[in-house]
A and B are shown apart, each in its own frame.
Chain A
Amino acid sequence: MTCRHVLDQIDAETVVDERLDLLSAVPVHALTCPTCAVALGVSRDTPARLRALATVSAPPAFQTSVMARIARLEDAAPITAHEPASADWKLWPAAACLVLGILLIALALSLSPVGPRPWHMRISPAATTQSLATVAALLVGLVCYAIGLFTPIARRRRS
């Protein structure tokens, strides 16, 4: 058991508790090795010291300033309990867009001709129209898919 092992365990908080005597080799080393003993002491005391740091107070007029800002805010748009529902509804167009995009892509893939066409075969006007429709469906589908996918992410980033 080296100091490095013990220090790893100290940092993982496996030995920083009240049951030192219940643990075997690690606490023995931690208590007898000067370096590890100091490290264990520091690690054990740090959480309590951090909790005691709560003495930093907010500025004196903090609450007044917050409430004044809220008053101005509420004059503009009063808060209601139904806000999350409306926020959820905003996602429906994006979801519909996503589904429409997937459907159009699937349709385009099912319409596209499968397999190579011999070079001497002429393309009929009907086939050309079908190809154009396939490409158009694919493009519109991809655009719908991208809009449906990225709109909620962009909205979340803005918020």
Chain B
Amino acid sequence: MNTPDQAIVAAVLAGDRDSFGALVERYQHRLFGLVLMMVRDPGGAEDVAQDTFVRAFSRLGAYDTARPFYPWLAAIAVRLAQNWLRQRGSIVRREGAQLDDTIAPGAMPLSLDTLITDEESRELWRAVSALSSGERTTVTLCYRDGLPVRDIALALGVTTGTVKTLLFRARRHLRERLTSSGMFNRELQP
């Protein structure tokens, strides 16, 4: 039987540090996928995801147990991923464009190709990678992680109206890209 997140948090706060491993085990793949979708670099995603869990542990006392755990964790991940992207951007600006080859819009890092073997999934990753940072994060939190608009707004630090606008734009860009690729086109069954 799965122990509720809140019970694990209570155990960790009571001094049982190893209980936190259960939360890491439970959310590592989901969180890694979210961060990977945001930073589009497997090495960077691993660093950011690790930092997220470490920071979550060190600030566990600030977690409101009345709310679900994952949106709180995702909010930390989003902030750290944004910092990572900002730092990466400044390095690229300082040291030239060659570093940006792996994260050019629409492109996908080579190492990511090895993580995703299914061609349809790969095309979908490319389409999501081509979205702007805000659209990409919103669409990932909404569809892949299934978070409600309110939780996404809290994670991103924006209003629910902004989230809805980002979702609208993301859906449009995804539809245009996926329709033009032809891979997902099929006759609609009414």
Contact = CB atoms under 8 A, between A and B. Distances in A.
A63 B25 contact: yes
A85 to B, nearest CB: 8
B62 to A, nearest CB: 4
Interface string B126-165: 0010000000000110011010000000000000000000
A116 B140 CA distance: 64
B123 to A, nearest CB: 10
A42 B172 contact: no
B46 A58 contact: yes
A125 interface: no
12 contacts: A12-B168, A31-B190, A38-B188, A46-B171, A47-B143, A51-B146, A53-B144, A56-B36, A59-B32, A66-B24, A77-B58, A79-B60
B17 A31 contact: no
Nearest to B57: A70
Chain B, interface size category, equals 35 or more
A2 interface: no
Contact of A66 (B36, B50, B188): B50
B55 to A, nearest CB: 9
A57 B34 CA distance: 11
Contact of A11 (B13, B171, B190): B171
A69 interface: yes
A134 to B, nearest CB: 41
Contact of A79 (B24, B50, B58): B58
Given A66-B53, A67-B24, A79 B61 contact: yes
Given A42-B178, A47-B143, A70 B17 contact: yes
Q: For the complex, would chain A's binding face be called helix, strand, loop or mixed by DSSP majority?
A: helix
B178 A82 contact: no
B187 A41 contact: yes
Contact of A41 (B25, B59, B186): B186
A81 to B, nearest CB: 4
Interface stretch (B67-75, B87-95, B97-105, B114-122): B114-122
A63 to B, nearest CB: 5
A71 B175 contact: no
Contact of A74 (B17, B53, B186): B17
Interface of B: 12-14, 17-18, 20-21, 24-25, 28-33, 36, 46, 49-50, 53-54, 57-62, 115-116, 120-121, 124-125, 128, 139-140, 143-144, 146, 168, 171-172, 174-175, 178-179, 184-188, 190
Contacts of B60: 79, 83
Q: Number of contact residues on A: which range applies?
A: 35 or more
A66 B58 CA distance: 12
A31 B187 CA distance: 9
A56 B61 contact: no
B162 to A, nearest CB: 15
B175 A46 contact: yes
Contact of B28 (A11, A52, A63, A70): A63
Contacts of B33: 53-54, 56
A43 B46 contact: no
